[in-house]
Amino acid sequence: MGEHAAIAALTANLKAVGDDCAVLPMDATYDMVLTSDPLIENVHFTAEATPEQIGHKAVCRVLSDFAAMGAEPQYLLINVVAPPEQNFQTLEKIYEGISKVRKRFDVDLVGGDLAQGPALELHVFGVGRVPKGTALLRSGAKPGDLIYVTGPLGGAQKSGKHLAFEPRLEWGNALRESGLVTSMMDISDGLATDLRHILKASNVGAEIFSEQIPKNGTLEEALYDGEDFELLFTGPDIGKENPAATQWLGKITDRPEELLLDGAPLAGKAFEHFRS
């Protein structure tokens, strides 16, 4: 049935508000922000990745979720699953990669667990906060908004960016503080797929333009490769007020869930777990 349909069915009764992260009341000043993400051998990384890169990617995927909400990460917990023959020095180097990231972004590692399994896996859980009522969701895009992205897209696996990307936490915070952004998420599954999440949540459509899309490589790669972890967001024509200094690549329309590229319907064919 595919990853997205499975998630929708399994979470139909959830009470939390949010999308990239769950947003829950914390106190009079802040909302609590929670997220989690797995990193699995031969799914999210291969034997070619260094241990430090594995640790970097595991934590940065979670930090990118916080960036997508305009939130501040505070704490991490990490569960490690490893086969019995796992080299312990490799695990130590993975944690060196984790430590470099968490120190740079001032996030505390406060717990976790270790268990035996058939392959190496890191399950990272993040806790953070955002000023009350200000979390940026996918559901606020409006007809007439422009569509922006914080950097070029495509070729992340070919170039190695998927193992070395930087979560856009500073930009996420600046975009939230601007008060101009109507919806936002990070790009993990490709522009053509992730933009559709905004369209569905906001009950709008969009048209994007091939010449406006910033690319690392071909248009096909920019649309479908994924693992860019740039921020995708919508808002008015913010011009020089744009805190991320990005260029628009399309516009939001009033035709629910219709996605056009240069005036023609855009195929959806990005990677999805549980799809052949």
- Provide CATH code, domain 146-265: 3.90.650.10
Q: Where in the chain is the domain with CATH 3.30.1330.10?
A: 20-131
Q: Which helix (H) or strand (E) holds 199?
A: helix 191-202
Residue 20 has a pLDDT of 80
Q: Where in the chain is the domain with CATH 3.90.650.10?
A: 146-265
- With cut-offs at 50, 70 and 90, classify the pLDDT of residue 238: confident
Please check whether residue 256 is in contact with residue 204, taking contact to mean a CB–CB distance below 8 angstroms: yes
- With cut-offs at 50, 70 and 90, classify the pLDDT of residue 121: very high
pLDDT in tens, 33-53: 999 999 999 999 998 999 999
pTM exceeding the 0.85 threshold for the entire prediction: yes
Sign of the Cα torsion 274, 138, 124, 164 reads positive
- Please tell us whether the domain made up of 20-131 is placed in CATH 2.60.40.10: no
Residue 237 has a pLDDT of 83
Q: Retrieve residue 21's tokens.
A: 């992260």
For residue 109, give the amino acid letter. Answer: L
Question: Does the pLDDT value for residue 243 go beyond 70?
Answer: no
